[in-house]
């Protein structure tokens, strides 16, 4: 069981069929920590207006988070745009969980990171809500299609996880422009505040990278990529890809038969005849 100092999660989207709650339960079991940060879109109130799906595994996610808070782990919840109704309660505490609009986390090695969901830097979400809702519905359809595709891959014996939604993001120019524009905007804010980096969510695109001496970290999501950021005891940040952590190893391949060593008196025709029988 890895010993980490902090765990950062975002875009869990509880209340939807797309939420990979079973995988998140396994991840939480494997990564106890001193700090647990929920960086927005933990509950998807947008999708729940269209219909609520709440599984037993999603109940278990909530129970595990509450139990960690009761047992002394510091749990901080930063609402996002999908659970923006909770922003009215910023500054309050629900049991042992406190709500913040944003937060500054200091790592074990002394670096200071802004924790924020990230929709504040998304011009579409802020000024064109209907477009954001339409895009959310389209993304949800992609994720549901990916469930079918994953089943087909398993039936075909294909190992590993392949994301249809991620593939579309990588191929669509506008999506790439949006993600890079988002990163530029959040890094400008970090630089203006004199901080060392940012840990955010919102765009469902997990990453850790250095940008002009500052650190950009995005937690990803738990509807498709199943990723999180963890801080190790020495302050080092790591991106955990849980889909890859739990992926079964590829099936072993049968070893190729090798030609047995031949005595020098064997003729070339005999060698070719034996090779033809093997190949």
pLDDT score for 56: 97
- Residue with the bigger pLDDT between 37 and 265: it is 37
Is residue 130 pLDDT above 50, yes or no? no
Task: Write out the two tokens for 82.
Answer: 């999908």
pLDDT score for 127: 43
Task: Write out the two tokens for 260.
Answer: 């047995």
d(C-alpha 230, C-alpha 109), whole Å = 14
CATH for 6-246?
3.60.21.10
Instruction: Tally the C-alpha atoms within 13 A of residue 104's C-alpha that lie toward its C-beta.
Output: 8
Taking the model in full, what pTM does it have? 0.74
Question: 205 near 189, Cβ under 8 Å?
Answer: no
Q: Tell me the per-residue pLDDT of 204-227, one tens digit each, with 9 for 90 and over.
A: 889 999 999 999 999 999 998 899
Q: Tell me the per-residue pLDDT of 54-107, one tens digit each, with 9 for 90 and over.
A: 999 999 999 999 999 999 999 999 999 999 999 999 999 988 999 999 999 999
Mean pLDDT, range 1-15, rounded to an integer: 92
Question: 117 near 103, Cβ under 8 Å?
Answer: no
pLDDT score for 153: 61
In sequence order, the β-bridge partners of residue 211 are 214
d(C-alpha 79, C-alpha 126), whole Å = 15
Cα separation of the two ends of the chain: 47
Strands 214-218, 207-211: pairing is: antiparallel
Task: Write out the two tokens for 185.
Answer: 């905007």
pLDDT score for 263: 52
pLDDT score for 279: 43
Distance of CA 279 to the CA centre of its chain: 45
Is residue 200 pLDDT above 60, yes or no? yes
Average pLDDT, the chain: 81
Locate the domains of the chain by residue range. Answer: 6-246
Distance of CA 121 to the CA centre of its chain: 20
Q: Which residue has the tokens 């207006």?
A: 49
């Amino acid at each position: 069981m890895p010993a980490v100092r902090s765990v950062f999660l975002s875009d869990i989207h509880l209340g939807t069929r797309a939420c990979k709650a079973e995988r998140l339960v396994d991840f939480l079991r494997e990564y106890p920590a001193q700090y647990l940060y929920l960086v927005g879109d933990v509950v998807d109130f947008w999708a729940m207006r269209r219909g609520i799906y709440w599984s037993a595994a999603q109940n278990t996610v909530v129970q595990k988070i509450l139990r960690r808070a009761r047992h002394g782990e510091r749990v901080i919840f930063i609402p996002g745009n999908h659970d923006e109704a909770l922003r009215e309660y910023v500054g309050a505490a629900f049991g042992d969980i406190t709500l913040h609009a944003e937060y500054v986390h200091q790592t074990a090695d002394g670096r200071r990171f802004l924790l924020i969901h990230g929709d504040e830097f998304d011009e579409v979400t802020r000024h064109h809500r209907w477009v954001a809702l339409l895009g959310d519905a389209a993304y949800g359809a992609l994720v549901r299609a990916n469930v079918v595709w994953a089943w087909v891959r398993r039936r075909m014996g294909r190992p590993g996880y392949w994301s249809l939604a991620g593939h579309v993001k990588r191929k669509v120019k506008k999506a790439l422009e949006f993600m890079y524009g988002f990163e530029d905007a959040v890094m400008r804010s970090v630089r203006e505040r004199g901080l060392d980096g940012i840990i955010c969510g919102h765009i469902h695109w997990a990453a850790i990278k250095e940008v002009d001496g500052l650190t950009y970290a995005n937690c990803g999501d738990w509807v498709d990529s199943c990723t999180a950021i963890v801080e190790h005891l020495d302050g080092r940040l790591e991106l955990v890809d849980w889909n890859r952590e739990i992926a079964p190893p590829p099936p072993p391949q049968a070893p190729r038969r090798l030609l047995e060593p031949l005595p020098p008196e064997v003729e070339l025709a005999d060698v070719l005849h034996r090779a033809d029988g093997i190949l």
